[in-house]
Amino acid sequence: MTQNYYQLSSNKVLSALNTTEQGLKSEEIQNRLTKYGHNVLTEQKQTTLLQKFISQFKDLMIIILMIAAVIAFFAGDASDAVIIFLVVVLNAAFGVFQEAKAENAINALREMTTPSSRVRRNGQIQTIKSSDIVPGDIVLLEAGDIIPADLRFIKANSLKVEEAALTGESVPVDKNNVTLEAEKLPLGDRYNLGYMNTNVTYGTAEGVVTATGMYTEVGHIANMLNSVDKSITPLQKSIINLSKILSVLVLVIAALVFVIGIVADRASILEMLLTSISLAVAAIPEGLPAIVTITLALGTQAMAKRNALIRKLPAVETLGTTEIIASDKTGTLTQNKMTVEKLYHDNQLQDAHTVDFKLSNRLAQIMILANDSQESDRGLVGDPTETALIQYYLDHKQPVNDVTTDFPRVTSLPFDSDRKLMSVVVSNKEQQLIMTKGAVDELLKRVTKIEENGKIRPLTSKDSDQILDTNRQLAQQALRVLAFAYAPTQNIDATANYTSEDLENNLIFVGMIGMIDPERPEAKAAVAEARRAGIRPIMITGDHKDTATAIAQRLQIIDEGDNGVITGSELDHLSTEQLDATVEQYSVYARVAPEHKVRIVKAWQKKGKIVAMTGDGVNDAPALKTADIGVGMGITGTEVSKNASDIVLADDNFATIIVAVKEGRKVFANIQKAIQYLLSANLGEVLTLFFMTMLGWDIFAPAQILWINLVTDTFPAIALGIEKAEANMMENEPRGNKSSFFGDGVMSSIFYQGLLEGGLTLGVYQLALTFPFHHSYELIHADALTMAFATLGLIQLFHAFNSKSIHGSIFRKDLFNNKMFNWSILISGVLLFATIFVPAFNDTFKVTPLAPQQWLVVFIGGFLMLVIVEIIKFFQRMLIKN
């Protein structure tokens, strides 16, 4: 199946496959079915829902949380245990849902295959199931058919095939049965081959099947999809690292407190065990998975409003680390709509948008009449080149239907890939006219005159040279050029068969147009914003080198230091090591195959870069799955590419990716704020209890520890997850693959803030003992412990305001712009102080009512947390500036 059939003549291909134009014999069909199997794409072995569910519990943080839930339950805090279990189960269920959706990629490939096909077997045309097609079958095709297997065309009549999903070609490709001599041609340049699941848009053909099922080009892609190992995201890496650190710290500190308490005879073994267990629960941020999930979920909602639909939650955060955006061209950077851009008329080249042609102009009439486009409820339907000609006049508010009404068609000569022309004969009350459009060089062979400023004169060599020079000029800009001509005729019979020699001669040249699939208006600004954010945009397309270069230059994707544009054929001559060494030298890759895209993505990943890859076709699916972030197209994208993606763009717009990157950065920053807040608060609790034990003081009861941990941790931390993006976020360099939640000074902040919390709490405790408001020993220590309990809780509520920015000051006009945060602080404060103010709760939480003077000390102790942290952050900002 590895034979380059495009290099063999039709007869040699038939011979190599041991078949004829009459098709296979009946006895041979079953033998080949046995040898090659059915023409279907095989599925990768899939796991059951139960297996998927169980696998979600292998994460270390999940295991720690499950242990914490059990500990909390036996420590007497059933509500905490239930909350933890619910969070874990919900996370697992969501993971199962996402994994099941990811397996749809191969299924979508299988569903694309046409259910039946027309073949010739035993000399007879018959319709069979496409799954029963075998190599050597002769397949008959016409416009509207899906090609059921890879084949070599042996007959082709004005054949055009839409291959965008496989090759990235932006317009249907002209196909023929001519033998090609070149070796290692890209898929898009093998003009005598047809590929499974591509669409015939024009003409008819016969082809001999060369490969079926998993041996086809689409099957090759299915194999690549099956073999791709999806790497874990930076978020998942950070959570895993955090889990490891916490598991060690929790075990060490809990064990240390237990041992010291027993050695110092602070309490009974059972009491110290419960205290150590409570401490372990306090040290573990059991709300973290919920906070991460909620923050990511809210991020998905924000992105959905901006047309970025998230299929896998971690992708929200991973976007924020993106360093390379490898974008497809057609439909993402461009409009996926051929557009008339230049007009050459009366020996003048003009920008099309500046010309206001009236429909009495002959060039306008030919563009409209020599055209097979049709209007429908979905707009114009037909070849993209032809619909662009009509759309140009519709955009100029011209009554196109009036022209077709005034000049009804008599007959036509369809486009032919050999002569590269298309003609129609139209008539009105006064005359019959032949109107022709096509390739400039072919049309000039049939032209004898030229129309200039409404007058007709003989075509001179100077005219021809100027026309050809303009054609070259437009082609260098990657514009697709069409020339237009006409001639008066008469007595053309609609029922007669005419040839090109009968009609297409002695034509009058009237002009040319240059068209292109133009860049999206907002794409250039988006590329510039990506560069400001430290993200390098690169283009990977299956389209031609010249077209890719033109669009890349317009969008300023090509860097000054780039080596230019590299093609798939050139990549074939580079070893993996050579590509790894030179990948940074190129920003544009043209005429590439699916395996090239995967190689490019992997080469960037080996440089330690986080790569986001966009795509809409079947050929993009392996690279989408390989990339750190796969971005599929919602409008033009195939189901295969969507299912292989982490994100789907509802508007197919590159600018939307940049919006999503900004949201991803905000999500990371908010999770980072929540983690800093949670861990510094938990560290403050652990240090307070540890030093109380070391100093021989009374220590918090398990209920007090768990209550502070529950009411002051969870609500404010969740609210921090929906903070608005800080200013200038997109002017910072991306965090990249080695990013950590503990970077950017967060780790040092956690330690000093945890120490500060513990120190302030212990200070209030000591102050209460030194300046007692009660005289009995029991009340002195009970009040001191209550004041320390209230101070620790209040410190964390004030510290939540500190955590709204890692380094920025909280004293700004938008301090209270997060309503959920404001409510969370209020609710947490009410729940915390209710244990002291409501007498019924005093015994449960082992607290005593406090006097106003004691509350003043508690408030000052809590407020000092905010003041001291703000002073430290001020000096940090000064150091960063210097």
| Active site amino acids | 328
Residue 286 neighbours by CB under 8 Å, 6+ apart: 65, 68, 69, 80, 83, 84, 87
Place of tokens 């036509």: 412
Q: Which two tokens stand for residue 815?
A: 């301090």
Report CA-CA distances (Å) from 566 to 408, 546, 826: 48, 11, 60
DSSP state of 430: S
Helix, strand and coil in the chain, % to nearest 5:
50, 15, 30
Residue 405 neighbours by CB under 8 Å, 6+ apart: none
Judge whether 605 and 628 are in contact, CB under 8 Å: yes
Distance CA 161, CA 175 (A): 7
Beta-bridge mates of residue 537:
325
SS3 540: strand
Judge whether 435 and 410 are in contact, CB under 8 Å: no
Long-range contacts of 343-349 (CB under 8 A, 24+ apart): 343/511, 343/512, 343/513, 343/514, 344/467, 344/470, 344/474, 344/511, 344/512, 344/513, 344/514, 345/510, 345/511, 346/452, 346/453, 346/511, 347/452, 347/463, 347/466, 349/470, 349/473
Distance CA 393, CA 403 (A): 11
Closest C-alpha to 56, from 10, 83, 87, 25:
87
Distance CA 267, CA 251 (A): 20
Distance CA 228, CA 870 (A): 48
Closest C-alpha to 486, from 441, 417, 430, 437:
437
The per-residue DSSP string of 835-870 comes to HHHSHHHHHHHT-----HHHHHHHHHHHHHHHHHHH
